[in-house]
Structure 1
Amino acid sequence: MSIAASTSTDKIIVDRSRNHRNKAVSKTVRATRQRLQTGSSAPSGFEREMLLLHIESVLHGAMALPLLVIMIAASGVYLSGEANILVWALMALSAHAVTIFLARKAKREDVVAEKVSVWRRRFLACQVLTGLCWAIFTLPDCASCGQVASGLFEGTVLFIALAITAMGTFLLRNALYYTFLPVLCVLCFSALATGDPVDIGFAGILALSLIFLAFMTGSMNRANVHILSVQSEKDDLIAELEVAKSMSDEARRRAEEANLAKSRFLASMSHELRTPLNAILGFSEVMSTEVLGPLSNPTYKEYTLDIHRSGEHLLNLINEILDLSRIEAGKYELSEDAVNLAEIVEDCIGMVQLRARSKNITIGQQFEQAMPSVWADEKAMRQVTLNLLSNAVKFTPSGGEVSVKVGWTAGGGQYLSIRDNGPGIPEEEIPIVLSAFGQGSIAIKSAEQGTGLGLPIVQAILAKHNGQFILRSKLRVGTEAIAILPPRRVLQSLPPVEDVPSLTRRRRSFA
């Protein structure tokens, strides 16, 4: 009872001390998925990441705007011949320098989550400052250039600036509006003041371009947020997998330790129990055979026989437990030799024949002729055969029949088949009877209950031989147990190898 309890305990070992970590990770994963499903344009969880990406973008593209301003100033001086535009260029470069200084400071101080909104407002303020510079650019009117040339130059510069600003600030939400709304206001005021259709058209085109590019930058911003969300979910899932793996490794380690401790305990207890049990068997046999004199009371003689039978049953149980513990601990070593499977089976049939006759059970034999030897452990194969024969005789009713076959498999191996016409095993109980200490419903009701270790030991021994064990059964029809040895364990007859001197002489004769 205690063994079964310890076995069940080994199977449910879990490190519950780490469950809270798994729950925390699961909660984070659920929050991330919910964040993805809501589809908000800029979740608060990614404001810091988006701001950091914008800072990197500003620093990497630091030379783009100065080059544009220098080209505009040079073109303005060339077209108008006036140096007033250089003042504007100096103002624009100064505003850009403030933005670069702010970006470097933010990167140096490492923006924390609590300061994200503050830093965002600062960068938007820099964009307003840059927008004011572009608004100032629209104010001067070049009298020497002509109205068409001046309007064309001004429009080209503003559209280029709008496109560059859209590409450089899409990571900072609404930055494009903060930059070009002052420019649009100045253009609209100027167009309304002059009433010139060209100015009105130019202001309208710029407004439509601003709206279109703002929509595009908003889409790009949401796409980046989605990428960050997917990355965050992937990181959360990886973390969850790592926690689950660590929990699995810990549970497996503890299960292996418990299983090893169980095997050591069983081996130790089996050795400790067999010593006094052998003494009990010896003395009970002496008393039952009346070696030292007759027993005056026949009841005492009956008691000694009961003691001897119970002791043998207990010794068999201990031996099976010891074999199973050695197999589980990997200490079961095979002593292999050339053995004849048919001869082993025939000897084992003789050992169970007396018990079969007492139940009026017929054991039929069908052996293939002239079968070669196999490379196997004779003691282990005897144990396999005896376990299967004992089960067949045990569960076959009086007057039944047990059929034993030894022959060739289709692949060239050898097999042992033991079939009985007993009550059979329900199909759903076959995995149970093949597990350690597992017994089917028929075995539990039987008067000759076993330990539930015979078939698992047979299965393990055949696995050590690289063989296979098959159990077929049908309720109220019977059971067939098949033990198979692979073809590579069959020893085929080979011609004798000639000695080296004779081969040497033959080579000389050919020469």
Structure 2
Amino acid sequence: MPPAAHLRRLPPRAARRATTADESAGDEQKRSFLRMVSHELRTPLNSILGFSEILASELYGPLGAPQYKEYAEIIRGSGQKLLKLVNQVLEIARLQGDAPPFEPQAEPLEAAIDEVLAGVAEEVAARGVAVEVAGRDHLPAVSADPRGLRSALFQIVHNAVVFSPEGGTVRISAQALGSTVEIVVRDEGEGLDPADLPRLMAPFEQGENALTRSAEGAGLGLSIADLTCRAMGGRLKIASKPGRGVTAGIRLPAA
């Protein structure tokens, strides 16, 4: 008998309980599948990264022709990009599914921003970008999941650094607005057509988007930040005009 027909024969309350049980079982299957895929993808990628690093550093002696070292470095770089993409896709799948909810707590922004800036230090140095944090010692606290807060902040700060012109400045600020706190990240990049902005929030948009046209990557960072903010009871707002850079604002409950 089809499941729907079976449910129609049950009393309304029993049918609701049966539906809830089926949904819970389905959610657990999704989580189990994500854990399995995560392990099966990351394990070989970690091997590729580890062995290519050994070869590139010539840990056990010269490789011979210089091209071998160059190729090992290319393999390692490609592996890192693929691992980043795998992590992003799995994170979006986790956020779009009924994953365990985030656990909000009082989080000082100073520590979160410092950790995020440490994570993008390599890109900041490579592009010669300056990062300014307004009122660094007097930033408000937010009510957010620690991991979720850092993930959302990392995505928008990383995008701001990557799409800033060399030698440009990324400005970070935060202010309390009633019962919420708004964290704003501005860059000095080329900016975007406002018509492109809705597409930036849509994961797995087909074809080129406003981000992938000018830099490597799948352009999933803002989708992750948006989904993460929603899961924490906040929101992400993006504003931009051609030639005016991009302004990303995260609104979260105040602590």
TM-score, normalised relative to structure 2: 0.79
Q: Which residue of 2 aligns with 1:450?
A: 217
Query: Is 1:471 matched with 2:255?
Result: no
Following superposition, the deviation at residue 441 of structure 1 comes to 4.5
Q: Which residue of 2 aligns with 1:311?
A: 79
2:248 to 481, 489, 494: 481
Q: Give the structure with the larger strand fraction.
A: 2
Q: Is the 8 A contact 1:424 1:478 kept in 2?
A: yes
* Alpha-carbon displacement from aligned partner over 1:149-198 (angstroms, at most 9, x marks no partner): xxxxxxxxxxxxxxxxxxxxxxxxxxxxxxxxxxxxxxxxxxxxxxxxxx
Q: Which residue of 2 aligns with 1:351?
A: 119
Following superposition, the deviation at residue 437 of structure 1 comes to 2.1
Q: Is the 8 A contact 1:342 1:367 kept in 2?
A: no
Q: Is the 8 A contact 1:393 1:402 kept in 2?
A: yes
Specify the SS of the correspondent of 2:120: helix
Q: Which residue of 2 aligns with 1:326?
A: 94
Tell me which amino acid in the other structure corresponds to 1:444. T
- Equivalence map 1:98-247=2 (5 Å): none
Query: Is 1:367 matched with 2:135?
Result: yes
Q: Is the 8 A contact 1:433 1:440 kept in 2?
A: no
| Structure 2 gap ranges (5+) | 1-22
Q: Which residue of 1 aligns with 2:183?
A: 416
Q: Is the 8 A contact 1:421 1:479 kept in 2?
A: yes
Cα distance in 1 between the residues matched to 2:171 and 2:98: 34
Q: Is the 8 A contact 2:134 2:173 kept in 1?
A: yes
Specify the SS of the correspondent of 1:309: helix
Higher relative contact order (CA 8 A, sep 6+): 2
Cα distance in 1 between the residues matched to 2:174 and 2:140: 12
Following superposition, the deviation at residue 299 of structure 1 comes to 1.7
Specify the SS of the correspondent of 2:178: coil
Following superposition, the deviation at residue 279 of structure 1 comes to 1.0
Cα distance in 1 between the residues matched to 2:104 and 2:210: 36
Following superposition, the deviation at residue 296 of structure 1 comes to 2.6
Q: 1:332 to 1:455 in 2, by over 3 A?
A: farther
Q: Which residue of 1 aligns with 2:151?
A: 383
Specify the SS of the correspondent of 1:437: coil
1:341 to 109, 118, 121: 109
Q: Give the structure with the larger helix fraction.
A: 1
Cα distance in 1 between the residues matched to 2:122 and 2:147: 21
Q: Is the 8 A contact 1:400 1:421 kept in 2?
A: yes
Following superposition, the deviation at residue 354 of structure 1 comes to 2.9
* Alpha-carbon displacement from aligned partner over 1:105-136 (angstroms, at most 9, x marks no partner): xxxxxxxxxxxxxxxxxxxxxxxxxxxxxxxx
Cα distance in 2 between the residues matched to 1:377 and 1:481: 20
Specify the SS of the correspondent of 1:313: helix
Q: Which residue of 2 aligns with 1:396?
A: 164
* Identical pairs, percent: 32
Q: Which residue of 2 aligns with 1:298?
A: 66
Q: Is the 8 A contact 1:473 1:480 kept in 2?
A: yes
* Alpha-carbon displacement from aligned partner over 1:217-272 (angstroms, at most 9, x marks no partner): xxxxxxxxxxxxxxxxxxxxxxxxxxxxxxxxxxxxxxx9xxx8999876654432
* Alpha-carbon displacement from aligned partner over 1:402-433 (angstroms, at most 9, x marks no partner): 1111232x223222211011111111111111
Q: Which residue of 1 aligns with 2:39?
A: 271
Q: Which residue of 2 aligns with 1:405?
A: 173
Following superposition, the deviation at residue 460 of structure 1 comes to 1.1
Cα distance in 2 between the residues matched to 1:403 and 1:370: 16
Cα distance in 2 between the residues matched to 1:458 and 1:386: 8
Q: 1:308 to 1:294 in 2, by over 3 A?
A: same
Tell me which amino acid in the other structure corresponds to 2:247. E
Cα distance in 2 between the residues matched to 1:323 and 1:313: 15
Specify the SS of the correspondent of 1:425: coil
Cα distance in 2 between the residues matched to 1:411 and 1:273: 44
Cα distance in 1 between the residues matched to 2:204 and 2:32: 18
Tell me which amino acid in the other structure corresponds to 1:309. G
| Structure 1 gap ranges (5+) | 1-255, 491-511
Following superposition, the deviation at residue 470 of structure 1 comes to 0.7
Tell me which amino acid in the other structure corresponds to 1:425. L
Equivalenced residues, count: 229
Specify the SS of the correspondent of 2:216: coil
Q: Which residue of 2 aligns with 1:435?
A: 202
Q: 1:316 to 1:444 in 2, by over 3 A?
A: closer
Aligned Cα RMSD in Å? 2.6
Following superposition, the deviation at residue 392 of structure 1 comes to 0.9
Tell me which amino acid in the other structure corresponds to 2:204. F
Tell me which amino acid in the other structure corresponds to 2:148. A
